[in-house]
Chain A
């Protein structure tokens, strides 16, 4: 006779072992490693919370200190590999296998560890894909999460940076797993409840507040004239052209320039109320002038951004806020919103090949994907229409006779990166990385058949209008400037594409490149952003020079 509740029985056994290390749900910080040793079993699948913003850093550090004879061969599932401790788990043999999404700052060290055989990588996912697997075949047995504060019943308040926590806790708590939360403070009552206490087993107050990165802050002082020019191209040649009202902006100076041009260039073109009204994006400080100028109706966020707390709270018509008045973010919902309810994704990239495949992988670094592939993909399950979506679908030369829409997926890149590294290449570094590390696939951020437009300082290539692979390659060469790929173009073919509107130069769009100056930016410094916010934006110290 099969027993049908082994997970529940196992959960009870773990909680019984943990009883000696806790008082109710509260764990003394000095006892946390002992608790982890008691409730984690060898071979467990463990989710360690941390993304590109907040980190369960105290729990990560505590996990590196467990007795490796008691806790070993763990299968880590986590959004981001950001801290040295995350890799130390593998170097010490505490963990063996990894499924993740992004590894930005640890990318080079991760690649070395993979080559040395010190880590088994299951797969590199997008955020939404990884969260989805938490509910199918990668459900955590134990999750180590992070929140701002807790009460004695285990209710958690995350503050504006709710981020991944609800998805992780949902998958763990409802499959008889164990949820352990680190918090900055223990409180009698919470401003609001982001995670109900009966989904949380243990709470520990970390000795120092958890790490949080202001990853989405871009200092306007560092935006170049070329980025201003590219932003003019995007506003005039794509946003105005398609009437894009629902969109997602990725991270970077290229898109920050667009945000800062809306109140100046966008306003002058009469585009207020016609473009950029509804957003899936983090509260970028550089969106403040567009909000204050009346361009923006609504913003739903993946996470928050350090320094934007008071501003988002004071603009509750725009942002999603709780009964306590502060922002509520949710990465899983926002990724779904960006995928299904936005008509356009635009982001920067590092390399583009002649099929339009776009990658941020470079030699010797495993960086992963984050959310871009979900935002930057046509939502084939989408069924509602909008003007921008229908126009893109109508242009799609490769489409069948069945009327369909298309998501606009725009990649923005200067033809050369720093130190004259060409952004356009015959072969992506991603192939080399795959061969070096034995991955199943080259790590491509956005597949060429999802990309609809490539924007460089040379102009816009509309790949929707290309009839075949050859024409597509020529269109890409046509905006690849003086890179070897660009110089290999057939000038007559490119002029022909220009006549058909496949390639549009700045002058074809009525843009005078001499106008592309930093004085077009609505804010040119961090202080300008503070001023636009009426003093509500409070930049982290590293961004202050006053």
Chain B
């Protein structure tokens, strides 16, 4: 197990339809993403709990790309990772954001 934390400056986003969403599952090669609209003075925060240690640099790169492509503010993301590849992480993040904004679950 490894616990990682990342902060990202926020960028204005439309008011989401939901306050929080969960996507994904806690199973091998997969992950669960909890995305919440919270008050963080406009910035964003990510907590990662992962079963695979030593990949902090890759998490940093994947999350940086996600925040560069999508405008988010006052969002907290909590990730429970069971060995997902960066591709799956990226897909789950996009799905979570979609659900948060459009209100699908």
Q: Chain A residues in contact with chain B, CB under 8 A?
A: 224-226, 229, 414-416, 418-420, 457-458, 481-482, 487, 513-514, 516
Distance of A516 Cα from B91 Cα, bound (Å)? 9
Interface string of B82-99 (1 = CB under 8 A from A): 010111101100110010
Tell which of B29, B58, B86 has the most Cβ of chain A within 10 Å.
Answer: B86
Contact across chains for A414 and B98 when beta carbons are under 8 A apart:
no
A414-B91 contact given A487-B61, A514-B98, CB 8 Å threshold: no
- The residue of chain B having its C-beta at the shortest distance from the C-beta of A517 within the complex is B95
A414-B55 contact given A482-B62, A514-B95, A514-B98, CB 8 Å threshold: no
Distance of A414 Cα from B84 Cα, bound (Å)? 12
B52 is an interface residue with CB less than 8 A from chain A: yes
Distance of A225 Cα from B94 Cα, bound (Å)? 13
Distance of A414 Cα from B94 Cα, bound (Å)? 18
Contact across chains for B87 and A414 when beta carbons are under 8 A apart:
yes
List chain B residues, Cβ under 8 A from A225. 88, 91
Distance of A487 Cα from B64 Cα, bound (Å)? 13
A513-B85 contact given A418-B29, A420-B55, CB 8 Å threshold: no
Tell which of B52, B61, B62, B85 has the most Cβ of chain A within 10 Å.
Answer: B85
List chain B residues, Cβ under 8 A from A481. 86-87
Distance of A229 Cα from B62 Cα, bound (Å)? 18
Contact across chains for B85 and A415 when beta carbons are under 8 A apart:
yes
Contact across chains for A420 and B87 when beta carbons are under 8 A apart:
no
Contact across chains for B61 and A414 when beta carbons are under 8 A apart:
no
- The residue of chain A having its C-beta at the shortest distance from the C-beta of B99 within the complex is A514
Given contacts A229-B87, A414-B85, 7 further A-B contacts (CB under 8 A): A229-B91, A415-B85, A416-B87, A482-B58, A482-B61, A482-B86, A516-B91
Distance of A545 Cα from B10 Cα, bound (Å)? 48
26 interchain pairs (CB within 8 A)?
A224-B88, A225-B88, A225-B91, A226-B85, A226-B87, A226-B88, A229-B91, A414-B85, A414-B87, A415-B86, A415-B87, A416-B85, A419-B52, A419-B83, A420-B55, A481-B86, A481-B87, A482-B58, A482-B61, A482-B62, A487-B57, A487-B61, A513-B91, A513-B94, A514-B94, A514-B95
Contact across chains for A420 and B29 when beta carbons are under 8 A apart:
no
Distance (whole angstroms) from the CB of B52 to the closest CB of chain A: 6
Distance of A516 Cα from B52 Cα, bound (Å)? 26
Distance (whole angstroms) from the CB of A233 to the closest CB of chain B: 12
- The residue of chain A having its C-beta at the shortest distance from the C-beta of B69 within the complex is A507
- Number of A-B residue pairs at CB separation under 8 A: 42
Distance of A244 Cα from B57 Cα, bound (Å)? 40
List chain B residues, Cβ under 8 A from A419. 52, 83
A416-B86 contact given A513-B91, A514-B95, A514-B98, CB 8 Å threshold: yes
List chain A residues, Cβ under 8 A from B94. 513-514
Q: Chain B residues in contact with chain A, CB under 8 A?
A: 29, 52, 55, 57-58, 61-62, 83, 85-88, 90-91, 94-95, 98
Distance of A229 Cα from B83 Cα, bound (Å)? 19
Distance of A458 Cα from B57 Cα, bound (Å)? 18
Distance (whole angstroms) from the CB of B22 to the closest CB of chain A: 16
Distance (whole angstroms) from the CB of A352 to the closest CB of chain B: 16
Distance of A416 Cα from B85 Cα, bound (Å)? 6
Distance (whole angstroms) from the CB of B18 to the closest CB of chain A: 16
Contact across chains for B95 and A457 when beta carbons are under 8 A apart:
no
Contact across chains for B62 and A420 when beta carbons are under 8 A apart:
no
- The residue of chain B having its C-beta at the shortest distance from the C-beta of A458 within the complex is B87
Distance of A444 Cα from B85 Cα, bound (Å)? 26
Distance of A487 Cα from B58 Cα, bound (Å)? 9
- The residue of chain A having its C-beta at the shortest distance from the C-beta of B60 within the complex is A482
Distance of A482 Cα from B85 Cα, bound (Å)? 10
Distance of A265 Cα from B88 Cα, bound (Å)? 21
List chain A residues, Cβ under 8 A from B52. 419-420
List chain A residues, Cβ under 8 A from B91. 225-226, 229, 513, 516
List chain B residues, Cβ under 8 A from A457. 87
- The residue of chain A having its C-beta at the shortest distance from the C-beta of B59 within the complex is A482
Distance of A415 Cα from B83 Cα, bound (Å)? 14
- The residue of chain B having its C-beta at the shortest distance from the C-beta of A419 within the complex is B83
List chain A residues, Cβ under 8 A from B29. 224, 418
Distance (whole angstroms) from the CB of B90 to the closest CB of chain A: 8
Distance of A457 Cα from B88 Cα, bound (Å)? 9
Distance of A292 Cα from B95 Cα, bound (Å)? 32
Distance of A414 Cα from B86 Cα, bound (Å)? 10
Going nearest first, the 4 A-B pairs with the smallest beta carbon separation are A457-B87, A416-B85, A482-B86, A226-B87
List chain A residues, Cβ under 8 A from B87. 226, 229, 414-416, 457-458, 481
Distance of A516 Cα from B58 Cα, bound (Å)? 23
Of B85, B90, B95, the contact of A420 (CB 8 Å cutoff): B85
Distance of A420 Cα from B83 Cα, bound (Å)? 8
Tell which of B55, B88, B98 has the most Cβ of chain A within 10 Å.
Answer: B88
- The residue of chain B having its C-beta at the shortest distance from the C-beta of A418 within the complex is B29
List chain B residues, Cβ under 8 A from A514. 94-95, 98
List chain A residues, Cβ under 8 A from B83. 419-420
Tell which of B55, B90, B91, B94 has the most Cβ of chain A within 10 Å.
Answer: B91
Distance (whole angstroms) from the CB of B6 to the closest CB of chain A: 15
Distance of A514 Cα from B100 Cα, bound (Å)? 13
Distance of A240 Cα from B88 Cα, bound (Å)? 26
Distance (whole angstroms) from the CB of A221 to the closest CB of chain B: 13
Distance of A514 Cα from B104 Cα, bound (Å)? 13
Distance of A386 Cα from B52 Cα, bound (Å)? 49
List chain B residues, Cβ under 8 A from A415. 85-87
Distance of A458 Cα from B87 Cα, bound (Å)? 8
